[in-house]
Amino acid sequence: MELKTHRSSGGWWLHPEQGDLKYFIGIEVARSNNGIILNQRKYSMGVNSRVYQRLLRRLLYLTNTRLDISFAVQHLSQFMHKPKKYDLEAILRVVRYIKKNPGQGILLSMSGKSQMFAYCDSDWATCPMSRRSITGFCVKL
């Protein structure tokens, strides 16, 4: 399904043209008997490891559907402006992990209840390296 957008006074609107939705803003939509799978396989295969900041921006975008890398990417983003050699080595480990599992994503199950649970937590000055506050959240569908 292609989605076309148009601008009106109320904001941007999406209009489905025809068929099933396959891609939307870089996220692949695949249907199965178990439900709908959202992943970024195409995007994850194009990750470039030349520049730490560019790579980190791409990884941050991947965390939309790759929740398994969220903590590592958030931690590595703290060193975006002054990355050290071991920071680059760590980010390349994340890239290797993604390339081993490029199609991993989120399954929106057709069975069961449709409930959303959200959890959040924050700790004041708990990062042992920077003494900065850390905030985290988790949303479960």
Domain range annotation of the chain: 3-140
Taking the C-alpha atoms of residue 108 and residue 114, their distance in angstroms, rounded to an integer, is 9
Which pLDDT does position 39 carry in this prediction? 83
Which pLDDT does position 11 carry in this prediction? 47
Which pLDDT does position 97 carry in this prediction? 92
Question: Average pLDDT by consecutive 10-residue portion of the chain (141 residues)?
Answer: 48 56 79 84 57 85 87 86 82 90 82 80 76 75 70
29-56: burial string, b at 16+ Cβ within 10 Å, e else: bbeeeeeebebbbebbeebeeeebeebb
Global pTM reads 0.54
